[in-house]
A and B are shown apart, each in its own frame.
Chain A
């Protein structure tokens, strides 16, 4: 991941959908998967809705491998913990004290369905949405411009912070700071590395604030933008329906469990 973005540039119908439509769609799928009864709903939605969407967006393999990579540690962890430490249940096998239980393994499999759903849903959105359209989208969605500023600026500056942290690590190693070895040695290296990062960036706060004020950020005037995000009346209608759907799923999910 070079820039702080998962965007995969492609020409596809999914890519050209309005970002707001896509994020609402993602939220709808996640809400449905978590709210609807049935143990396997999550898997069902992933296979029959998210995967076809990924095909449409021409990011299927990309989505599959990234989801796999990020979910694997969770999968291993949840399966081991829930099956081996389940307590009472039907043993799968028994070797001495080791006795994983079917019930635990089932629970783990059910949990993984939800995890994979949340994971792949958001990854699909990230992969098919240009990060620089986010600011405009957020404003259109009625998000205050200050919040939009925070989100967009964060995405812009994170890569430079990651690089800076590595440079500082190098600079301090050049001054004889050990960063490898036992826990005590590594823990001692922490402060000399993070302080230049934090103090240096706090020094920038004032400059940035002055720059923003001189640009008239808080002037309240409507800004014009260069990027056009195509929207259609149909999508506007669809978004209303989706919004209603999300709301319905949440209410249903809560009531059903009470």
Chain B
């Protein structure tokens, strides 16, 4: 294992990492300038994972947030989340997620399954009830299906459309991005909730507000917000990197 780690940190990787962090920052600012409703500020991190491997990706993510923390102290406490994203990108890369094209029907299935699960999760959350003793009970799947059948069908159709038109041939990379986003949402929620009172000062706070309004606790609302916006954001990031890797000139990839 140590041999592997050492192999990942060639001089080229070392040079690549600062460039990747600068890319994170420059693209993060560009997204704000273009007023896009996403973050996309870990593209450089994912790129290092894809090109150099999971450990290099993790190091890039961790350092990126710590350095960014010098200017925006809110980024620093989330360094472990960024590291996890880099790590996941590396694992995805090892399995060829960024090099291969996916048949479009696979992308359709990925999109449909994901939006379906998301809908299930949100509906379960909204319909949860807390009794006097503080015990929270969730509705059963059967209950939800019979009550919201239209919503579920719509979710599957929307997901399939996302898969077909957005993921296109990058379905496998997109799927890794979705999974990474779910992990990121779960592990970042406690820090966001306990250290920062559940807000980020960004547009996604509206989602937190919506979940609070539907009766969720602070941690649960942050988690719910994260599970909606993070997977989407990371899916896009992974797909952009998939596109970048495919656009790499031969003289870069041949080495």
Contact = CB atoms under 8 A, between A and B. Distances in A.
Given A74-B200, A206-B255, 13 more contacts: A4-B71, A78-B197, A86-B212, A107-B197, A119-B73, A121-B73, A122-B76, A147-B63, A150-B17, A154-B18, A162-B25, A169-B30, A190-B30
Interface in B114-143: none
A191 B37 contact: no
22 contacts: A73-B202, A74-B200, A77-B201, A81-B209, A85-B209, A107-B218, A114-B195, A115-B197, A118-B73, A119-B73, A151-B63, A155-B67, A161-B23, A162-B25, A162-B26, A195-B243, A195-B247, A198-B23, A201-B22, A202-B248, A204-B19, A217-B11
Interface of A: 1, 4, 6, 34, 70, 73-74, 76-78, 80-82, 84-87, 107-108, 110-112, 114-115, 118-119, 121-123, 125-126, 146-147, 149-151, 153-155, 157-158, 161-162, 164-165, 169, 179, 183, 186-187, 189-191, 193-195, 197-199, 201-206, 208-209, 212-213, 217-218
Nearest to A126: B70
B212 A85 contact: yes
A212 B199 contact: no
B205 A208 contact: no
Interface residues on B, range: 35 or more
A24 to B, nearest CB: 15
A194 B27 contact: yes
A197 B63 contact: no
Interface string B45-75: 0010000000000010001000101111110
A248 to B, nearest CB: 20
Nearest to B70: A126
B71 A126 contact: yes
A208 B11 CA distance: 9
A22 to B, nearest CB: 12
B16 interface: yes
Nearest to B21: A154
Given A198-B23, A217-B11, A84 B67 contact: no
B173 to A, nearest CB: 15
B77 A118 contact: yes
B240 interface: yes
Given A81-B212, A85-B213, A189 B22 contact: no
Given A190-B34, A202-B19, A202-B248, A165 B26 contact: yes
Contacts of B18: 149-150, 153-154, 157
Contacts of A162: 25-26, 29
Closest 7 pairs between A and B when the two form their complex, measured CB to CB: A111-B197, A85-B212, A73-B201, A153-B18, A161-B22, A77-B199, A161-B26
B215 A115 contact: no
A229 to B, nearest CB: 18
Contacts of B218: 82, 107
A40 to B, nearest CB: 14
B12 A206 contact: yes
B198 interface: yes
Interface of A is mostly: helix
Interface of B: 9, 11-12, 14-19, 21-23, 25-27, 29-31, 33-37, 43, 47, 59, 63, 67, 69-74, 76-77, 195-202, 205, 208-209, 212-213, 215, 218, 240, 243-244, 247-249, 252, 255
B98 to A, nearest CB: 13
Nearest to B197: A111
A165 B44 CA distance: 14
Given A155-B67, A187-B36, A197-B26, A149 B244 contact: no
A54 to B, nearest CB: 15
Contacts of B47: 198
A154 B72 CA distance: 15
B193 to A, nearest CB: 9
Contacts of B248: 199, 202
A108 B201 CA distance: 13
Given A70-B72, A122-B70, A201 B23 contact: yes
Contacts of B21: 150, 154, 158
A77 B108 CA distance: 37
B240 A191 contact: yes
A194 B71 contact: no
Nearest to B16: A205
B249 A205 contact: no
A193 B33 CA distance: 12
B249 A199 contact: yes
Given A111-B197, A199-B249, A212 B70 contact: no
